Amino acid sequence: MNIFPSRASTSRIAGSRRAVTALLTAASLVVVSACSAPEQPSEEADVQTITVVDDAGRTVELDGPIESAVVANRYNSELIRAMGEIDKVISVDTNTAQDRAYWPQFDPGNVIGKGQSELNVEKIIELGPEVLILPRNGKVDEYAAALEPVGIEVLTVTGWDNGNFADQLEILGTAFGNEEGAQQVTEFFETTRSDIADRVGGVEPAKTVYWEYGDPFTTAVPGTSNDGWHQMIVAAGGINMFGDPNLQGDTVDPERILEEDPDLILKTTSGGALKNTGVYTPPADGEFATVGEEMVARPGWSDLQAVRDGNVHMITGFAGGGLGKIIGSVYLAKWLYPEEMADIDPDEVFTQWLDLQGVDFVPGHTYTVPAAG
């Protein structure tokens, strides 16, 4: 007996084996294909984490560009609006929302607190934003600790800080995913500051300034919460007569003003706004004059050169604080050095700043006290 299969049998067996093998291979491919099918992208996979080092030196991680924020301090809100992201802001503080003409979209009855140091944590949690934005002179660490458990981030941006203005816009541009809009605001600030410096930077001797905010004899000392106003004077080519960072407090000895006899006196007033703030609507007729008369009537002031020459000027916190206070610098430089600044119209620069926010210029935010004769 032939125990080996015939050639025909061998062909049939081989064919059967090839068929089985083919079937198994096909089945395997189906299984492998099913196991290795691409997963549908989840929402988490689409999230692009943004890491920002804020103005307090804190590292803040955001789940993508900001889509909802609450903001303390009108300087911050102005910058956000100028760069084109104000629609992402769902609520602000009272100091901002008080100005119904300037911020009609914000309800004073639905705010996050009075200001950056008097915020309502419960209200912020109720509103449920992704992030709270406030300046570094607010209670940053306290609010961060209170909001962390509910997943609300705290981002420090100091819009009034004209000494590090570009840094503030870089933070905002990154956080909102709008570097182009932020850069546009930065360039306007830097161009304006350069225009002033080109004209008055080399003037010798530089003129001295006594600046006052709100209450009598309250002034700008470097390194304090009024540091931005000190920087405003410096950017205008002036010398802050109280520019010594070693001074304590923000009020001064009235006798020093009489002793140093500054070249120019500038009063920043709130007008009808909450104390040490500013609103779009200028002061009522006669309000500037009344405040100015009080100032020049102080003991010994009639002998000051600035009073005799008509170099006592007034500006609202709204105008003076515009664009990180560089608007105030333009006006101040014009008053200090009228010849060097002859080709610069502060009202025009102020108008450009308001245009960037989609707001019309309104006159009446400055005043010059008549010379004492």
DSSP assignment of 291-345 equals HHHHHHTSTTGGG-HHHHHT-EEEEEHHHHTTTTTHHHHHHHHHHH-TTTTTT--
In tens digits, the chain (373 residues) has pLDDT values of 333 333 333 333 334 333 434 433 443 433 333 334 444 444 444 568 999 999 999 999 999 999 999 999 999 999 999 999 999 999 999 999 999 999 999 999 999 999 999 999 999 999 999 999 999 999 999 999 999 999 999 999 999 988 899 999 999 999 999 999 999 999 999 999 999 999 999 999 999 999 999 889 999 989 887 889 999 999 999 999 999 988 877 678 999 999 999 999 999 998 778 888 999 999 999 999 999 999 999 999 999 999 999 999 999 999 999 999 999 999 999 999 999 999 999 999 999 999 999 999 999 999 999 998 6
Q: What is the set of domains in the chain, with CATH numbers?
A: 46-177 (3.40.50.1980), 204-369 (3.40.50.1980)
Q: What is the pLDDT of residues 118-165, one digit of tens each?
A: 999 999 999 999 999 999 999 999 999 999 999 999 999 999 988 899
What is the value of pTM for the model shown? 0.85
In angstroms, rounded to a whole number, what is the distance separating the alpha carbons of residues 268 and 318?
Answer: 9
User: Pseudo-torsion of CA 311, 316, 319, 325, nearest 10°?
Assistant: 80
Q: What is the pLDDT of residues 52-99, one digit of tens each?
A: 999 999 999 999 999 999 999 999 999 999 999 999 999 999 999 999
Q: Which residues contact 320 (CB under 8 A, 6 or more apart)?
A: 229, 232, 268, 278, 327, 328, 331
In angstroms, rounded to a whole number, what is the distance separating the alpha carbons of residues 255 and 261?
Answer: 10
The helix (H) or strand (E) run that includes residue 153 is strand 153-156
